[in-house]
Amino acid sequence: MELRHLSGFVAVAEELHFGRAAERLHIAQSPLSQQIRLLERDLGVRLFDRTTRSVRLTSAGRALLEPARHLLAEASAVRRTVLAAHLGEVGRVTLGFAGASSYSALPVLTRAVTSELPGIELVLEGQTYTGEALGRIADGSLDIGFVALPVRRGISARVVRVERLLLALPDSHPLAERTEVAIAELAREPFVTFPQARGSAVREAMVQACHEAGFAPRIAQEAPDSYNLLALVGAGVGLAVVVSSARNIQLEHVVFRPLAGDDVPVLPIALGWRTGDSSAALAAVLRVAEQVLPTPAEFEGTAEGQGTA
């Protein structure tokens, strides 16, 4: 029993006409009739009652129709699975993320991967800040991650977003009345920020900006993620330097103000992965990411703006 014989049988069974079935299969009628005769010989039964005017299924033909359809569907699924594996559309990819930047970009990427690459399992690992993500990408325990530039040797990256730093503060704070706030004005203020041990690029940028303004920030408390960080701000525990995407997190009693000056730090946010990684599944995810999270114009063509897998 060959699949092409079953395909011919199903076509005739559904059309109940050898001419129309042959046209549907894009073959001549004579080879189709030969396929049906070979199938009947193989099974030892007659599948059709044929006259010069009509074609009808026999009881054996009716019994074969659904199993034949099922076998053809299974064969088609096998072909799709093998082709998907060859193209890298089957597999498992681990993705690390943390912070407001990835909260904005992550849903766009995951929806696109789910829609376009249903054979790929995208495993999401939260609270994976830049320092930790780069280390895990390098050692192979993470395939891809949202990271801030610059990246280390052996890791490729493509910028997907550019963030400016903002100040988050309680709405009752005197500085909340201002349209913008200079970093130097925060020398006596307590700060809440992300954990130092996790390698947060936002924390590093905040500390550097404070040092350049002539003071070391006083850290009142650390928070594991952006939601907890802003909750601490709203509770009056301290102020926080955050990225512009944090505006998308709406919490009561928290307001955002731009930092004053023309030299306010910007953070290019990128997708990072191991240079030379041969995973076809990773390459497929990166292709989808390039479609839905394009590189901002100012980073197109730069060394870290356009990495290659």
- pLDDT confidence of residue 186: 96
Mean pLDDT of 294-302: 82
Both 193 and 239 in one domain: the answer is yes
- Per the prediction, the chain carries an average pLDDT of 90
* Structural domain count of the chain: 3
Last residue of a domain, one of 86, 114, 134: 86
- pLDDT confidence of residue 304: 54
Q: Does position 309 have pLDDT exceeding 70, yes or no? A: no
Both 134 and 12 in one domain: the answer is no
Q: Does position 302 have pLDDT exceeding 70, yes or no? A: no
Confidence at 307, pLDDT banded by 50, 70, 90: low
The position carrying tokens 């103000």 is 257
Q: Does position 305 have pLDDT exceeding 80, yes or no? A: no
Both 115 and 38 in one domain: the answer is no
**φ/ψ (deg, to 5) at 228:** -65, -35
Confidence at 117, pLDDT banded by 50, 70, 90: confident
End-to-end Cα, the chain, rounded Å: 44
Greater confidence (101 vs 151) lies with 151
Greater confidence (119 vs 178) lies with 178
Is 78 inside any structural domain?
Answer: yes
Mean pLDDT of 123-135: 92
Both 79 and 107 in one domain: the answer is no
The whole domain housing 232 covers 163-265
Both 186 and 253 in one domain: the answer is yes
Both 123 and 58 in one domain: the answer is no
Is 307 inside any structural domain?
Answer: no
Under 8 Å between Cβ of 159 and 269: yes
Greater confidence (79 vs 94) lies with 94
- pLDDT confidence of residue 88: 63
Please give the structure tokens belonging to residue 291: 């479609």
Q: Does position 151 have pLDDT exceeding 60, yes or no? A: yes
Q: Does position 233 have pLDDT exceeding 90, yes or no? A: yes
Both 31 and 50 in one domain: the answer is yes
Indicate which CATH number applies to the domain containing 36. 1.10.10.10
Confidence at 306, pLDDT banded by 50, 70, 90: low
- pLDDT confidence of residue 153: 92
Greater confidence (1 vs 102) lies with 102
Under 8 Å between Cβ of 133 and 286: no
Last residue of a domain, one of 86, 113, 147: 86
Indicate which CATH number applies to the domain containing 123. 3.40.190.10
- pLDDT confidence of residue 53: 84
Greater confidence (97 vs 263) lies with 97
Both 14 and 81 in one domain: the answer is yes
Amino acid at the residue 84? A
